[in-house]
Amino acid sequence: MRRLTLAAAFALAIGSAQAQDYPTRPITVIVPFPAGGPTDTIARVTAQSMSQLLGQQIIVENVAGAGGTLGTGRASRAAADGYTLLLHHIGLATADTLYRKLPYATRKAFAPIGLVTDAPMVFIGRSDLPANNFAEFVADAKNGGDKVTFANAGVGSSSQLCAMLFMAAIQTKLTQVPYKGGGPLMNDMIGRQVDVGCEQATAATPPVQAKRIKGFAVTTTARLQSLPDLPTADEGGLKGFALGVWHGLYAPAGTPAPIVQKLSSALQGALKDPELIKRFESINTEPIAPNLATPEALQKHLASELDRWGPIIKASGQFAD
Ligand code: MLT
């Protein structure tokens, strides 16, 4: 017993010593989706502010594929030294059930640092889609069924989750077209290669405002300032339909607590940074309240989301493997 506490005390001392000098070299944040997509954008804006507070460069590395599980697997195997982090979203919780064979244990593989933002989503369609409002969007989806193509960013993405909930709500199976991420998805939507989708406002608002794609409804409980003419999905007839894409920052499990704490403090500072707040507003999302940018709050939130989505996905029978 005495030896154990000594070892723990020793590890803590090492951790504290490490934390004092940390970071002494650039930090990498793995984003499990391609560059140019909503999660990549959120990561780059957050990294910029955090790097100023930590006095060290933060590099965003995109490791896309398999609905975000490829990059997540990579981050889970990284050294627990604070120099490799993961920025991921609600997909970390849904993938845990969607994939029956994951190369990591979601509940154990990461040391949560803090929540970052909770991004709204927008139901969208190609610019020449006949529907001109959400009621017509829903009616055409119901009538069209599997002739209607619904773009998603892979099984485990937020757009796939939205597609799953939408099809359940209208009780109609549409044809899902998977992409590696929101970036390539939006290019094809603008190019009229796919009919409809549901994407984070971060990526959907600019092309909707520019009328390069159509917007139909938002998945928040209140309308978005940036898209005031779009009803909420609930207002538009899908009673109770609401979905936010919460994003969190993680380190590999075993990363010394003082380092995780230092990163959480830097994240909290970044979320109060007027420059970040302005950038987040310009990409139609909001920084999470700083008191939620803590390891405890993210740990609790991730656990409750894993408990929430597990049964829903099992009931849907929609597994990735
Ligand atoms: C992305 O950044 O590509 C998205 O977060 C993908 C998604 O979850 O829809």
> What pLDDT shows up at residue 6?
63
What residue ranges line ligand 1, CB within 6 angstroms? 33, 37-40, 89, 91, 153, 157-159, 181-182
Q: What is the atom index within ligand 1 of the atom nearest the CA of 34?
A: 3
The closest alpha carbon to 206, from 215, 219, 197, 193, belongs to: 215
The closest alpha carbon to 153, from 126, 121, 130, 128, belongs to: 121
Six-digit token pair at 237?
Answer: 């007839």
> What pLDDT shows up at residue 174?
97
> What pLDDT shows up at residue 10?
58
> What pLDDT shows up at residue 89?
98
> What pLDDT shows up at residue 283?
87
> What pLDDT shows up at residue 67?
94
> What pLDDT shows up at residue 125?
98
Q: Counting Cβ atoms within 10 Å, is residue 172 exposed (0-12), middle (13-18) or buried (19+)?
A: middle
Six-digit token pair at 162?
Answer: 């939205």
At 299, is the secondary structure helix, strand, or coil? Answer: helix
> What pLDDT shows up at residue 19?
75
| Residue 153 C-alpha from the chain's centroid | 11
The enclosing H or E element of 296 equals: helix 295-316
Q: What is the atom index within ligand 1 of the atom nearest the CA of 199?
A: 9
The closest alpha carbon to 217, from 229, 198, 230, 200, belongs to: 230
pTM recorded for the entire structure: 0.93
Six-digit token pair at 143?
Answer: 């009538």
Residues of the chain with pLDDT under 70: 1-18
Q: What is the atom index within ligand 1 of the atom nearest the CA of 40?
A: 2
